[in-house]
Copies of this chain bind each other. A is one copy, B any other.
Amino acid sequence: MSRDYSHRLIVQEVAPRDGLQIEPKWVDTDDKIALIDKLSTCGFTRIEAGSFVSPKAIPALRDGDEVFHRIARRPGVIYVALIPNVKGAERALAAHADELNLVMSASQTHNRANMRMSCEASLAGFGDIVRLAAGSKVSLNATIATAFGCPFEGRIDEDRVVAIADTYREMGMHGITLADTTGMANPRQVARLVERVLERVPADALTLHFHNTRGLGLANVLAAYDAGARRFDAALGGLGGCPFAPGASGNICTEDLVNLCDETGIPTGIDLPALIELSRALPALVGHDVPGQLAKAGRNGDLHKAPDYVHAI
C-alpha cells in the first residue's frame, strides 16, 4: 500500500490553552506570554493562546485578556482564543484574537457537564457570536467535542457528527474541529469519519484534535492524514490530561508529532530542536513531569557514544 507523505501537515499548538487549563499550579502571566512568544518563533502558523471563559470555571486561564494584549504578534501566526459564550467572544474581540474557537459536544450529556447547557442552547449562542463577529476580521472555528466517543454516553452516532458539521457550515463557521476530547478514537473510526466530513468541508477548514489517553494519538493522526486531513491540534510536552483518567496522557504531544512528520518526510515547517528545548523547560513551569516522549528520548539522530569495550572486540 503506497501512501503520499508530501502534503504539508499544519500543527496548531494548543498547550497555552488546552494544556494549561487543567494545571493545578498557577502559571504566571509573564511565563505564559514568554511561552507563547517562544512558540511563535518555532514555525507554527496557528497557536491557541488562551481562552475567555469564566475565571471561576477555569481559574488557570483567568488572565486571557492580558495574555492576548501582551504577546508579541508574529506576522503569519494566527492567535486563536477558545470561547464558551457571547461574553467570552466580546472579551476575545476586545483582546484582538485572530480567531474564535467555539465548542459544543456531540454528546448532550457531555455538553451539559462541560458547558452547563444543552446542545440547542449552545447552538443558539453560536448564532449570537456569528452575528457579533460579522463585519470584524475575526475568523470563526467551531469544535465538535466528543466527536469520537463520550465518557458518559459511550459511542456517538457518526450521522450526528456529520449533521453538526453541516450545521456549523450553514451558520457560517470558517473552520470545524473534530475533537476526541477524552481519547476514545481509533484509527479505523477516524479514517471513516474524516472521509465523510471531507465530503462537505474542505481540508484546509478541518482540524483534528486528538488526545493520547489510550496511546492511539499518533496512529489516529496518521489515519486522518491518510484520509486527507491536514490540520491537527497538539500540545507541547503532551500537556492536557483528562480529568476522568488520572495519570493518563493528555493532548497528543507536539514534538512527538513533529518528529513523526520529520521521520516520515511530511513537511510541517516547524523547528523540532527548538520545540524540544521548550518542552524540556515545561516540568519547571508546571511543577511535574509531562507525557511527551521525544524530549526524553531525543531524536533518532541524537546518537549515543558506544561503550569503550566495543573497540576491543
| Complex-state Cα separation, A140 to B244, whole angstroms | 45
Q: Does A116 contact B (CB under 8 A)?
A: yes
Q: Does A246 contact B (CB under 8 A)?
A: yes
Q: Does A307 contact B (CB under 8 A)?
A: yes
- Minimum CB–CB distance from A161 to chain B (whole Å) comes to 16
Q: Does A26 contact B (CB under 8 A)?
A: no
B222 pairs with A293, CB closer than 8 A: no
For A292, list chain B residues within 8 Å (CB).
215
For A256, list chain B residues within 8 Å (CB).
214-216
State how many residues of chain A have any CB contact under 8 Å with chain B. 64
Q: Does A201 contact B (CB under 8 A)?
A: no
| Closest B residue, CB atoms, query A188 | B264
| Closest B residue, CB atoms, query A109 | B306
| Chain copies in complex | 2
Q: Does A117 contact B (CB under 8 A)?
A: yes
Interface of A is mostly: loop
Q: A113-B310, A215-B253, A219-B218 are in contact. Are A244 and B289 (CB under 8 A)?
A: no
Partner of A149, one of B289, B294, B300: B300
Task: Give A226-255 interface residues, CB cut-off 8 Å to B.
Answer: 226-227, 242, 244-249, 253
For A149, list chain B residues within 8 Å (CB).
300
Task: Give A276-313 interface residues, CB cut-off 8 Å to B.
Answer: 289, 292-294, 296-298, 300-301, 303-307, 309-310, 313
For A214, list chain B residues within 8 Å (CB).
256, 259-260, 293-294, 297, 300
Task: Give A137-168 interface residues, CB cut-off 8 Å to B.
Answer: 149, 151-154
B109 pairs with A310, CB closer than 8 A: yes
B304 pairs with A5, CB closer than 8 A: no
Residues 177-208 of chain A: 1 if any B CB is under 8 Å from the residue's CB, otherwise 0?
Answer: 00000011011110100000000000000000
For A313, list chain B residues within 8 Å (CB).
112, 116-118
Q: Does A212 contact B (CB under 8 A)?
A: yes
Q: Does A1 contact B (CB under 8 A)?
A: yes
B188 pairs with A306, CB closer than 8 A: no
- Minimum CB–CB distance from A229 to chain B (whole Å) comes to 12
Give A residues with C-beta under 8 Å from B.
1, 3, 5, 109, 112-113, 116-118, 149, 151-154, 183-184, 186-189, 191, 212-219, 222-223, 226-227, 242, 244-249, 253, 256, 259-260, 263-265, 289, 292-294, 296-298, 300-301, 303-307, 309-310, 313
What are 14 A-to-B residue pairs whose CB atoms are below 8 Å? A1-B191, A3-B188, A187-B260, A188-B263, A189-B263, A214-B259, A214-B293, A214-B297, A215-B217, A215-B260, A216-B256, A216-B260, A218-B218, A244-B297
